[in-house]
């Protein structure tokens, strides 16, 4: 993907709050989301800019958007826009950048019409950005796979297929929720290593997983694979994703068919979908595999993907406990990693998913798998950070955590930053754990 004027770091919005050094949403980002202005009012699509949202429904109705995308911008979810494909996405981004740019939209009648479509972000409720038909979660960090494998299978941490095939499982879309929704501790069947029979009750090993989620664009017809060279045009954008996991349920149920009830009770995503076009300045070469590792098979090899398939995206997980909340203490950072360290690129995950002819549809969500690096402070879940709860984390206020307790809130954050580009962010993905049902 080539850079264009929408990426120019020198350009400013006429909206003051979009200039703040700390904002995730400067003129160069322009992420999409869905929101509601009041409890009973309709779902609308919008674009984040500074501390405002440009109401796309109102902008389309006012004739401010390209005719090719106007109808899609007046839907309650992003699915129709996702289905339109990369040229339409690019045309919309260019128009939004022009309408919100200080240089391109000087003070006057046009700017007034755009300003009339702005809504303060603090006044709205964010919704799921898309109707997610199918959700698949991968396992693309070799560091995560090795660390977790070492706990479950000390003799063989990394299974022989790992470096050949992107491992994934079909998740559950019905329990995907947007940032801010409460996460209820699940019940499940668990068996302690010292006991013969399992018991049913609330999970005692609730965990989070720091991941990136990618939304599928137009997709493919059943039976028609997506070549890796064209996979980039199939990726609409990314969100932060928390794959909540009950480790005690998982360790008892996962063989032989993989994750099931340990994962499908909740998945939280951030509300703003940052487009792959916005991330173009932060594309990097694919993770460099150790020389002894096999090269990807031909259908997972493409020179373009090798050169720019990686993403230099900094991702963090933070914890806010009830005591920290009560004392006004700030959240504590649990880990910080980079998406550049993933063994497989987003495009490889998508191409592999469709390689057997499986059809992907607009709004389908692909989870990357836990983003962990080689260092301990870059491990993206408590299972890894605490060695399955046996080495608890010590928090600044003296508390400890092996796994999550009721009232704990996990906050995921992410941003991209490099010389020659404007820093852009993903916003936040928050989820607060509430007690199991009676
Ligand atoms: Mn996961």
Question: Tell me: the pLDDT tens digits for 373-382?
Answer: 999 999 999 9
φ, ψ of residue 165 to 5 degrees: the values are -125, 130
Residue with the two structure tokens 């019409």: 113
Of the candidates 330, 316, 290, the one whose C-alpha atom is nearest the C-alpha of residue 378 is 316
- What is the structure's pLDDT at 214? 98
φ, ψ of residue 56 to 5 degrees: the values are -70, -30
Q: Say how many Å lie between the CA of residue 28 and the centre of ligand 1.
A: 30
Whole-angstrom Cα distance, residue 421 to residue 423?
6
Q: Say how many Å lie between the CA of residue 26 and the centre of ligand 1.
A: 30
User: Which of the following is catalytic: 144, 332, 352, 353?
Assistant: 144
- What is the structure's pLDDT at 105? 98
- What is the structure's pLDDT at 1? 67
Classify 111 as helix, strand or coil. helix
Q: Say how many Å lie between the CA of residue 206 and the centre of ligand 1.
A: 13
Burial class (CB in 10 A: 0-12, 13-18, 19+), 200: exposed
Strands 182-184 and 424-434: parallel
Average pLDDT over residues 20-48: 96
* This prediction's pTM: 0.98
**Residues having C-beta closer than 5 Å to ion ligand 1:** 137, 209, 243
pLDDT of residue 52 exceeding 90: yes
DSSP letter string over 341-378? Answer: G-SS-HHHHHHHHHTTSPPP-TT-EEE------SSGGG
Q: Say how many Å lie between the CA of residue 172 and the centre of ligand 1.
A: 12
| pLDDT tens digits along 341-360 | 999 999 999 999 999 999 99
Q: Is 314 one of the annotated active-site residues of the chain?
A: no
Strand partners, 431: 410
Higher-confidence residue of 63 and 2: namely 63
Q: Say how many Å lie between the CA of residue 139 and the centre of ligand 1.
A: 7
Enumerate the H helices of 12-141 as residue ranges. Answer: 56-61, 67-70, 79-84, 86-100, 109-115
Report the residue count for the chain: 438
Residue with the two structure tokens 């694979």: 225
């Amino acid at each position: 993907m080539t850079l264009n004027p929408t990426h120019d770091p020198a350009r400013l919005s006429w909206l003051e709050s979009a200039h703040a050094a700390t904002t995730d949403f400067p003129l160069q980002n322009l992420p999409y989301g869905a929101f509601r202005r009041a409890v009973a009012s309709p779902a609308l699509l919008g674009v984040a800019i500074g501390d405002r949202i440009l109401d796309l429904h109102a902008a389309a109705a006012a004739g401010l958007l390209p005719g090719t995308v106007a109808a899609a911008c007046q839907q309650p979810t992003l699915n129709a826009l996702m289905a339109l494909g990369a040229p339409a996405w690019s045309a919309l981004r260019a128009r939004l950048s022009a309408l919100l740019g200080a240089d391109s939209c000087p003070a006057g009648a046009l700017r007034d019409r755009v300003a009339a479509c702005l809504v303060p972000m603090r006044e709205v409720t964010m919704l799921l950005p898309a109707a997610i038909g199918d959700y698949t979660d991968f396992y693309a960090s070799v560091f995560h796979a090795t660390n977790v494998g070492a706990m479950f299978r000390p003799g063989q941490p990394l299974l022989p297929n790992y470096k050949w095939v992107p491992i994934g499982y079909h998740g559950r879309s019905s329990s995907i929720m947007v940032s801010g929704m409460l996460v209820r501790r699940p019940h499940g069947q668990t068996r302690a290593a010292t006991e013969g029979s399992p018991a049913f009750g609330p999970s005692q090993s609730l965990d989070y997983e720091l991941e990136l989620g990618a939304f599928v664009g137009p997709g493919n017809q059943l039976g028609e694979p997506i070549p890796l060279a064209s996979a980039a045009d199939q990726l609409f954008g990314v969100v932060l994703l928390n794959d909540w996991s009950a480790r005690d349920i998982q360790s008892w149920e996962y063989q032989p068919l993989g994750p099931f009830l340990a994962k499908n009770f909740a998945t939280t995503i951030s509300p703003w979908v940052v487009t792959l076009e916005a991330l173009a300045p932060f594309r990097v070469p694919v993770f460099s595999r150790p020389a002894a590792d096999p090269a990807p098979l031909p259908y997972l090899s493409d020179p373009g993907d090798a050169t720019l398939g990686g993403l230099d995206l900094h991702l963090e997980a933070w914890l806010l406990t009830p005591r920290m909340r009560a004392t006004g203490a700030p959240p504590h950072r649990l880990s910080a990693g980079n998406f550049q360290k993933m063994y497989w690129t987003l495009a490889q995950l998508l191409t592999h998913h469709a390689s057997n002819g499986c059809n992907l549809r607009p709004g389908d969500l692909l989870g990357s798998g836990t983003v962990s690096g080689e260092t301990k402070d870059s491990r993206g879940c408590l299972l890894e950070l605490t060695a399955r709860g046996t080495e608890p984390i010590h928090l600044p206020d003296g508390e400890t955590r092996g796994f999550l307790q009721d009232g704990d809130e996990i906050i995921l954050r992410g941003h991209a930053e490099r010389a020659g580009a404007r820093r852009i962010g993903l916003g936040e993905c928050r989820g607060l754990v509430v007690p199991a049902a009676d």
